[in-house]
Amino acid sequence: MGFVQSKSDPSLFTKGCDGKFIVVLVYVDDILVASPDINLIRELKHYLDDAFKIKDLGELGYFLGIEARRDETGLNLCQMKYALDILAEAGFLECKPASTPMVPGQLLSPKDGELLSDFCSFRRLVGQLLYLTSTRPDIAYAGKSANLSTLPSTRI
């Protein structure tokens, strides 16, 4: 259909001609389509449905851990639900915030502690946290006011 793959993100495709522009973001079996021209979106959805029998989930609500809400002032993007889901899954939802993630000055040794019984859940948690901190660098390090309820959301 004439889309061009992004050099910086191989899952992002763009197409523009005659002053019209459409963007497609593909992640496994999820597709996000954006354009100021609703007819371009309808045309693409019809094309994809003919080729693959897609399910249209309507307007953007939640995609890749990011909540999207539109109002009269713009588009609000927030990852609070994703962060809370990580805390709940890891069993830390009721924990109190701390200014540092561990005791300052504590020396760690490979001989200390016990081996994890379920390393897969630990790897999953590390992956979730890496994704969260790559999309939200402002929470990559705990500070004096590390509190999820005060995290700003992004408005574009």
Res 108: pLDDT:
83
Residue 63 and residue 65: Cα distance in Å, rounded?
6
Residues 125, 86 contacting (CB under 8 angstroms)? yes
Residues 118, 111 contacting (CB under 8 angstroms)? no
Res 103: pLDDT:
79
Half-sphere exposure of 10 (CA within 13 A, CB side): 1
Res 146: pLDDT:
46
Res 137: pLDDT:
76
Res 109: pLDDT:
86
Pairing of strands 62-63, 30-34: unpaired
Supply the DSSP symbol for 5. E
Question: Which residues contact residue 69 at a Cβ distance below 8 angstroms, ignoring those fewer than 6 apart?
Answer: 61, 75, 76, 78
Q: Which residues of the chain have pLDDT under 50?
A: 145-146, 154-156
Residue 1 and residue 44: Cα distance in Å, rounded?
9
- ∠ CA 87-90-57, nearest 5°, is 60
